[in-house]
Amino acid sequence: MANLIDIKGVSHAYRTKSGPLPVLDNLNIAVPEGEFAAVVGPSGCGKSTLTRLVAGLMKPDSGEVWLHGERVTSPRKTVGMAFQNPVLLEWRTIVDNVILPLEIVAPRMPQARRVERALHLLDMVGLSGFESKRPSELSGGMRQRASLCRAIVHRPDVLIMDEPFGALDNFTREDLWQTMRDLRAAEPFTCVLITHDLRESVFLGDQVFVLSGRPARTQMVLKVDLPADRKLDVLYEPRAQQMLHTLRDQIRIAQGRDGELH
């Protein structure tokens, strides 16, 4: 119990022309309530499949996905999602984009309260003053901030993020890490972050799950023993550097290039 997300022995294969393509193989991930799980692994190892499983958008061939003590078999209203592409709706203003999930989840909520909630979040991510702009008028980083607001506007239990900062430049990305940290402090939610960026996984994660190459298994779980209100500088300290080293080695093993570089 106590685990908000429990992925138990999940295996999945896609049917392709040249036979089944296994992407997940007996995958186990457990995330306690309120914790932040970062998932890293080589390209194409099935990380995006994992997000769709947790969101209930697809069912695994075998194994079980549990959220809040309930088995996930279909989409639930208590999930928020953010992708690398911010997928904002170009015909809506920023604030109208943010309230979109509320229109689905809370159809009876008065519009004024929706807007109030959205404006509060936009303020927290530094977008106040941009609420009536169109997405096309904003920079990539700002669009991703708005996308984060939309993902948590309905106070989901679980926030699922699939490389949300992957398309941003380094400095913008680091800004967004800190925004993410502040959002979590203000609005507790359990989080699964799929990423390619090891520094990101250490800065944001409470645990880092390293997946093996395809088909993905849980190859290693790293507990990140850093304070919750960490600053960016922490990444340059020896203990963080040590973790990054460990992760890098694990990725190398996952890629199947163990002997190659030694």
Partner 1 sequence: METLQKIAVPLVAVVLFLAAWEALVWVNNWPNYKMASPSDLPPAFWRFRWLFLEMGWQTLWRTVLGLGLAVVVGTLIGMVMGFSRIARDGLYPLLVGFNAIPKATLVPVISLIFIGQHDFNTVLMAFLISFFPIAVSVGIGLSTLEPEYRDILRSLGASRLTIFRKIALPKTLPEFFGALKVSVTLAFIGTNLVEIVAPHGRGLGALFKSGETNGDYPLMFAVLIALAALGILLYYAVLVLERIFAGWAERPQG
Contact pattern for partner 1 over residues 113 through 132, marking x by CB under 8 A: --------------------
Q: Does 18 bind partner 1 (CB under 8 A)?
A: no
Contact 84, 164 (CB under 8 A): yes
244 binds partner 1 (CB under 8 A): no
CA distances to 11, 43, 54, 160 from 83, rounded to whole Å, are 23, 16, 14, 9
Tokens 């109208």 belong to which residue?
96
Query: What is the C-alpha radius of gyration for the chain, rounded to an integer number of angstroms?
Result: 19
Candidate residues 2, 16, 74, 225; the one interacting with partner 1 per rule CB under 8 A: 74
Contacts with partner 1 in 180-239 (CB under 8 A)? none
For the beta carbon of residue 239, count every other beta carbon within 10 angstroms: 12
Bridge-based pairing state of the strands 36-40 and 207-211: parallel
Lay out the site mask for partner 1 across 75-94 (x = CB under 8 A, - = otherwise): xxx-xxx-x-x-x-xxx---
Torsion, CA 92, CA 120, CA 197, CA 101, rounded to 10: -50
**Residue 56 interacts with partner 1 (CB under 8 A)?**
yes
The answer to whether 100 contacts partner 1 (rule: CB under 8 A) is: yes
**What is the per-residue binding string for partner 1 in 24-53, x denoting contact by CB under 8 A?**
----------------------------x-
Total residues in contact with partner 1, by rule CB under 8 A: 27
Q: What is the largest CA-CA distance in the chain?
A: 62
Are 130 and 94 in contact, with CB atoms under 8 Å apart?
Answer: yes
CB of 236 to partner 1, least distance (A): 34
The contact set with partner 1 (CB under 8 A) reads 52, 55-57, 74-77, 79-81, 83, 85, 87, 89-91, 100-101, 103-105, 134, 136, 150, 154, 160
